[in-house]
Each structure stands twice: as C-alpha cells, then as structure tokens.
C-alpha cells in the first residue's frame, strides 16, 4: 500500500488507516487481533484509537486490546500508533478535557494500556475552549521532550482552531500540530470550506473519519431491504437516512451500474479529495478491509467523480470559503 508523508512531517503513514472504534462490543478481542493481523499484512501501518474507545465494555478497552496484540505479535516498530485525549474518562472533574494535568495523566494511562513506551501521534479528541494554548502546548512539549509522544494531532477542530493552535506553537518555537482528523464524506462536505484549506496552509495531514457517514454510503438501502444492516441502521446513518433517501436511491443505482460496491465508491471518492492524507476505516471483518483496498486499487474516473458531485453537491458554489459563498 502507498505510504505518504504525515503532512509536512517526515513520518509516513498508509493511505488507509485501521480505526478501532468497533473494538469491544462490536468486535471481540480475538477478532480484533485477526483484523490487525490482516490489515498490517496488507500494508496498513497507521492504527488509530482513543482512550475512550471500547466504552461498550469499558473505557480504555480498545487500547488494552491493541496493547495485548502488540505484546503477542511484537509488531510495535511496524505500526504508527495514534490515540486521542480529551473526552471524559470518569465522573471525576479533572479526568477530562485538555488541562495540562489531564493531558499528561491521560498519556501515562494510554501508554500503560497500550503497553508501549511511546505514542506516535497523540491527538486532541475535541476542542476545549476553557483551556488556553500555552497550557496545552506546555503539556505536549513535556511529553515530546520525555519521548512519550512523537507528534501531536487534533480531531474535530475548526479551521480557525488550527490557525490559533499553530500560531501559538510558533510563538513557543514548537512544531505544533502534525495532523487534523475530521469527518468528511459525500454527505458531509463542509471541511472543504475552511478546514482542509487551513490544514494545507499549515502543512497538516488530513485524516478522515466516518468516510461512509456511519454506513449511510455503504449500501444502506440494499442492506435494510435484505435485513443485513448493522452499523448503517443506527447512529448518524439512521438520522440522515430520510433526508438523503432519494439521493441514496440514485447513488446505489449509480454504484450498481459501475459494478462496484457503494462502500468502495464512497471511500474512493474521499481518497480522491485534495488534501486528504489517509482515510480511517472501521472494519468489523477482514473482508471489510479487503473491500476498502478496492477503493485504492481502482480510483474513480473523472466522469464518475463529476456524477457524484451532481448527486452530492459541494457546499455553496463549491471550493473553499469565502468564494464558496459569493454569487
């Protein structure tokens, strides 16, 4: 699988990343280990998790499962390990957010659960408006200096948050952010307005989560008719289904005419977007991994991309803001 630079950084990552949000509750540990074996064997190098993942069992479960896999396989040097900090881990008032206290303590906890000495990419899971950037960067600088974190990333930020973070880091002579992880797919195209342009301007990698909008773009109508819908029958996919039903009928017909699975087409579209570094998939089976690889092996043609733009138009006039809003 193609390896690409993590934005302006020297680290390389695979174009597809293995997301672990399903570990625990949807994917049992033995199956999770097989998934990681299968993905790494096919060239996936970036494994993405978070301290809260596995909450259906208990928070931290996904990191623990990954840690046991790393210990059993001895593959630590073969993967780029990314996790996240910021969401509440307990009811304790200081066991959440991006205070210096929580960032450092949460990193230590993640290292213990993962059974590793370092985290390759430590991502802030969400914006914490109550904490200033000097405090956040002080904590991250400490972890980098201690060798416990190699690169820092963000997730679910706005474009102006990226700018604020990088300007504050620059004032401290710190590298700052290496990446931003955002939701981006045919249904959710707002990152094109300001987030992706901001990331490109600052040399940040863009990692995409929910490329199929929780299964909405993975053939949801067919699966519902067959009674095989799992993830696509709940969450953000279910909430958006009625709004986009007519378009999804056309989308699934278009995919059928191409002779390709809708999930493969949806992933191929995201992989073709300017500025996108890697797409985080959340497979439950090795077959899901192989299906995602098809999106890499067979890019969409220009006329196919144009048809998808017709079905799922960009925001406003298309392109970045402010031009997207101008008549």
What pLDDT does 167 receive? 98
Q: pTM here? A: 0.96
What pLDDT does 232 receive? 57
Mean pLDDT by 10 residues, the chain (327 residues): 96 98 95 98 98 97 98 96 98 98 98 98 98 98 98 98 98 98 98 98 98 95 85 74 95 98 97 98 95 95 98 95 90
Flag whether 310 is in a domain: no
What pLDDT does 256 receive? 97
What pLDDT does 231 receive? 62
Flag whether 242 is in a domain: no
Flag whether 239 is in a domain: no
Domain CATH code at residue 290: 3.20.20.100
- Please, what is the angle between helix 235-258 and helix 262-271, to 10°? 100
Flag whether 315 is in a domain: no
The catalytic site residues sit at 53
Flag whether 182 is in a domain: yes
Flag whether 220 is in a domain: no
Please count the structural domains in the chain: 1
Handedness of CA 167, 172, 177, 183 (dihedral sign): negative
What pLDDT does 117 receive? 98
Backbone angles phi, psi at 303, to 5 degrees: -70, -30
Flag whether 221 is in a domain: no
What pLDDT does 1 receive? 83
Flag whether 225 is in a domain: no
For residue 41, the enclosing domain spans: 3-215+265-301
Spell out the SS3 assignment of 238-278. Answer: HHHHHHHHHHHHHHHHHHHHHCCCHHHHHHHHHHCCCCEEE
């Amino acid at each position: 699988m193609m390896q690409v630079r993590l934005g302006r950084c020297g680290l390389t990552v695979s174009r597809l990343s293995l997301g672990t949000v399903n570990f625990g509750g949807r994917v049992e540990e033995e199956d999770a280990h097989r998934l990681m074996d299968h993905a790494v064997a096919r060239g996936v190098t970036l494994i993405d998790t978070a301290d809260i993942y596995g909450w259906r069992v208990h928070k931290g479960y996904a990191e623990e499962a990954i840690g046991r896999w790393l210990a059993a396989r001895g593959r630590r040097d073969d993967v780029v390990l990314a996790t996240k900090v910021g969401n509440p881990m307990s009811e304790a008032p200081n066991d959440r957010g991006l205070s210096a206290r929580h960032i450092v303590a949460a990193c230590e906890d993640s290292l213990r659960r993962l059974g590793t000495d370092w985290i390759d990419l430590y991502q802030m899971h969400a914006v914490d408006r109550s904490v200033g950037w000097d405090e956040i960067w002080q904590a991250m600088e400490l972890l980098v200096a201690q060798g416990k974190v190699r690169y820092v990333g963000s997730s679910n930020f706005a474009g102006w948050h990226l700018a604020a973070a990088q300007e504050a880091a620059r004032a401290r002579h710190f590298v700052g952010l290496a990446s931003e992880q955002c939701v981006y797919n045919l249904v959710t195209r707002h990152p094109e307005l300001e987030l992706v342009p901001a990331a490109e301007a600052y040399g940040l990698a863009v990692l995409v989560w929910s490329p199929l909008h929780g299964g909405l773009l993975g053939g949801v109508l067919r699966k519902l008719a067959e009674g095989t819908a799992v993830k696509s029958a709940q969450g953000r996919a279910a909430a958006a289904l009625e709004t986009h039903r007519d378009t999804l009928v056309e989308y699934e017909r278009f995919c059928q005419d191409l002779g390709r699975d809708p999930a493969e087409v949806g992933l191929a579209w995201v992989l073709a977007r300017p500025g996108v570094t890697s797409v985080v998939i959340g497979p439950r089976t090795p077959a899901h991994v192989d299906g995602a690889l098809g999106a890499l092996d067979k890019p969409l043609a220009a006329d196919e991309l144009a048809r998808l733009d017709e079905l799922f138009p960009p925001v406003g006039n298309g392109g970045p803001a402010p031009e997207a809003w101008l008549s």
